[in-house]
């Protein structure tokens, strides 16, 4: 089963992502900020990464940039969560190497739709 890493400083968002995705059969691992996310992505093989943008320590943009420098992460889908649906943020994140985005608040089916779009079971 594909493994998905969720990086968010909000435990409640991580909880929802984990509940929804593990309910659909994915293995979900969590990280509370960018730095932790980077470390986990390096140490554990993952099939997809879902990250928040606004986070302490290392924000989502930096995380995405750093992740794309890791050889094993090249080609792995990285999706960011955003409440700002502004084009500026999206362009910035995509230029950093993000694959797609999910606008918060999201419904479980929307999350699943994006994940199944980007990860083949």
Q: Which residues bind another protein (CB under 8 A)?
A: 9-13, 15-16, 19-20, 23, 32-33, 35, 48, 54, 56-57, 59, 68, 74-78, 83, 85-91, 94-95, 97-108, 110, 113-114, 117-118, 120
Q: What is the DSSP string of the chain?
A: --EEEEE-S-HHHHHHHHHHHHHTT-EEEEESSHHHHHHHHHHS--SEEEEESS-SSS-HHHHHHHHHTSGGGTT--EEEEES---HHHHHHHHHHT--EEEESS--HHHHHHHHHHH---
Min. distance of Cβ 99 from another protein in angstroms?
Answer: 4
Smallest gap from Cβ 27 to another protein, in A, equals: 17
Closest distance of CB 100 from another protein, Å = 4
């Amino acid at each position: 089963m594909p493994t998905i890493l969720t990086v968010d400083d909000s435990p409640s968002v991580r909880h929802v992502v984990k509940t929804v995705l593990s309910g659909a059969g994915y293995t979900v691992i969590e990280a509370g900020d960018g730095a932790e996310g980077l470390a986990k992505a390096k140490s554990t093989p993952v099939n997809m990464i879902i990250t928040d943008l606004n986070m302490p320590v290392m924000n989502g943009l930096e995380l995405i940039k750093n992740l794309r420098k890791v050889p094993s992460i090249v080609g792995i889908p990285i999706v960011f969560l955003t409440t700002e649906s502004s084009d500026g943020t999206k362009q910035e994140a995509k230029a950093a190497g993000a694959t797609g985005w999910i606008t918060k608040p999201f419904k479980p089916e929307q999350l699943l739709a994006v994940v199944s779009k980007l990860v083949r079971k």
